[in-house]
C-alpha cells in the first residue's frame, strides 16, 4: 500500500507540478506524519522538492507538460490571474501577449477595453483575439511548434526587435527571487526581447510556478515590473520575489 501510494503521489505531482499536504491527507486518508514521511522519501529519490505546506515537482526530472494537460490544471487560479492582468490594459495600448494558458485566458476579459494592438506568437490566442472588435492582431512569424501552436525562431526574434510595447504579458515556467525561467529555448528568447521592448512587463505565474526553476533563464526578477499570482502561492517565496524588486499582485 505504501509503495502504491507513493507511486500515485509521484504521478499526481508530475501532472499538477505541485501538491499540498492537506490534499494528500484528504486524498489518501493519511496523517500529516505519513505525508511528511512520503514526501521525505520522494525528495530523496529526486522526484520532488518540499516547500512550506507541500511540495513541487523536481524539474530536473520533468519537462513542460503538454498544452492539453496544462489547460486543465489550476484552472480557477489561472482565470483569476488572467482577469487581474486584463485590467491593466487600457484603450490605445500596444501590448505583447506571450505563450501560455494563463496568458491566453486573458482574452475573454479584453472585449470591452477599446482600440488596442496586440502582438502575439501564440496562434490560439491570435484566433481568439480576432473576434474582438477594435483589436489589431500582429503575428511575428517564425517556426510553428506542433501541438503548442506557437511561433518562435529567428524570424520571430528579428521581427520583435522592431516594435515597442506599452505592456508585455509573459507566461513563464517558473520564478524565484533570482529570476524568471522557461522551458522552451526559442520562446524564452522572445520573452527576453518583449521585456526589453516594453515599458511595463508583467509575469503571470500561478502558485505552481512560484519557487520553481526551469531550464532557460529569461531575466532577473528585478527586470519584471509586476508578478501576478494567486492566493495559494508560497508566502516566503512571494516575499523573496518582492524583496528582489518585483511588485507582486495576488489575484483573488
62: Cβ–Cβ under 8 A, 6 or more apart, which residues? Answer: 14, 17
Would you say 188 and 203 are in contact if contact means Cβ atoms under 8 Å apart? no
**Looking at residue 125, what is its pLDDT?**
97
How far apart (Å, rounded) are the C-alpha atoms in residues 77 and 163?
Answer: 31
**Looking at residue 192, what is its pLDDT?**
95
How far apart (Å, rounded) are the C-alpha atoms in residues 243 and 250?
Answer: 16
**Looking at residue 86, what is its pLDDT?**
98
The CA-CA-CA angle for residues 140, 66, 103, to 5°, reads: 50
Domains, the chain, in order of start with CATH, read: 2-61 (1.10.10.10), 67-251 (3.40.50.1360)
**Looking at residue 62, what is its pLDDT?**
46
Residue 83 Cα distances to 101, 109, 210, angstroms = 13, 6, 19
**Looking at residue 209, what is its pLDDT?**
86
User: Tens-of-pLDDT digits for all 252 residues of the chain?
Assistant: 888 899 889 888 877 777 889 999 999 999 999 999 999 999 888 888 887 788 877 765 445 555 555 555 678 899 999 999 999 999 999 999 999 899 999 999 999 999 999 999 999 999 999 999 999 999 999 999 988 899 999 999 999 999 999 999 999 988 989 999 998 889 999 999 999 999 999 999 998 888 888 888 999 999 999 999 999 888 888 999 999 999 999 998
**Looking at residue 107, what is its pLDDT?**
98
How far apart (Å, rounded) are the C-alpha atoms in residues 214 and 218?
Answer: 10
**Looking at residue 69, what is its pLDDT?**
52
**Looking at residue 61, what is its pLDDT?**
41
**Looking at residue 72, what is its pLDDT?**
56
**Cell of residue 165, nine digits:** 510595447
189: Cβ–Cβ under 8 A, 6 or more apart, which residues? Answer: 152, 157
Q: Kindly tell me the sign of the dihedral angle through the C-alpha atoms of 56, 59, 60, 63.
A: positive
**Looking at residue 73, what is its pLDDT?**
65
Amino acid at each position: 500500500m505504501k509503495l502504491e501510494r507513493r507511486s500515485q503521489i509521484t504521478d499526481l505531482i508530475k501532472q499538477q507540478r505541485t501538491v499540498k499536504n492537506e490534499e494528500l491527507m484528504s486524498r489518501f486518508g493519511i496523517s500529516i506524519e505519513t505525508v511528511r514521511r512520503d514526501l521525505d522519501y520522494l525528495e530523496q529519490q529526486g522526484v520532488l522538492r518540499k516547500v512550506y505546506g507541500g511540495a513541487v515537482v523536481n524539474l530536473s526530472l520533468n519537462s513542460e507538460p503538454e498544452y492539453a494537460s496544462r489547460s486543465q490544471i489550476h484552472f480557477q487560479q489561472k482565470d483569476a490571474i488572467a482577469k487581474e492582468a486584463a485590467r491593466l490594459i487600457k484603450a490605445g495600448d500596444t501590448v505583447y501577449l506571450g505563450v501560455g494558458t494563463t496568458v491566453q485566458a486573458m482574452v475573454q476579459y479584453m472585449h470591452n477595453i477599446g482600440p488596442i494592438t496586440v502582438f502575439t506568437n501564440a496562434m490560439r490566442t491570435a484566433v481568439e483575439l480576432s473576434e474582438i472588435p477594435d483589436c489589431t492582431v500582429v503575428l511575428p512569424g517564425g517556426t510553428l511548434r506542433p501541438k503548442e501552436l506557437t511561433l518562435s525562431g529567428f524570424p520571430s526574434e528579428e521581427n520583435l526587435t522592431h516594435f515597442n510595447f506599452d505592456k508585455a504579458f509573459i507566461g513563464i515556467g517558473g520564478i524565484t527571487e533570482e529570476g524568471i525561467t522557461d522551458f522552451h529555448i526559442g520562446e524564452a528568447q522572445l520573452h527576453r526581447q518583449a521585456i526589453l521592448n516594453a515599458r511595463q512587463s508583467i509575469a503571470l505565474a500561478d502558485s505552481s510556478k512560484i519557487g520553481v526553476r526551469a531550464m532557460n533563464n529569461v531575466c532577473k526578477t528585478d527586470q519584471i515590473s509586476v508578478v501576478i499570482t494567486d492566493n495559494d502561492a508560497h508566502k516566503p517565496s512571494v516575499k523573496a520575489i518582492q524583496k528582489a524588486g518585483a511588485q507582486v499582485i495576488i489575484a483573488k
